[in-house]
Amino acid sequence: MTRRFIHEGKEYRSYKHPILEYIFEKALASADEPPHEIIFTYEDIRQAMRELNLQRDKQASISNFVIDLTRRAGPHEARVPDSIWQQGYDLSRASDREVRQNIAGNSFD
């Protein structure tokens, strides 16, 4: 059975999905046209969590946010909410070099 998470009446597959959705929608709102890649930082994650009033669920470190979503080989549904996938974007881990620059991950088309 798949675990579901409800936030503001909307069903998600992970408590992290509304956070990604918030970051994604904010990035699109500030762009003239949809970017090829949306890079986000740990601070973006923290800000989204504050704005959405969400707390970390059994997660020891915020640095594991993207790692947890991308670690298991599986369908896109495990990585991103449908709203992001339907616009042609997926999720990728940041490289070690980018992580040292406070980049958590990116969503790309």
At residue 103, the pLDDT reads 67
The answer to whether the CB of 52 falls within 8 A of the CB of 19 is yes
Query: Could you tell me the pTM of the whole model?
Result: 0.80
Mean pLDDT of the chain: 81
Joined together, the tokens standing for residue 47 give 């800000």
Residues of the chain with pLDDT below 70 are 1-3, 56-60, 72-73, 96-109
Tens-digit pLDDT profile for residues 31-60: 998 888 888 888 999 899 999 998 765 555
Domain boundaries, the chain: 5-108
Of residues 71, 72, 67, 78, the one with CA closest to residue 104 = 67
CA end-to-end distance (rounded Å), the chain: 30
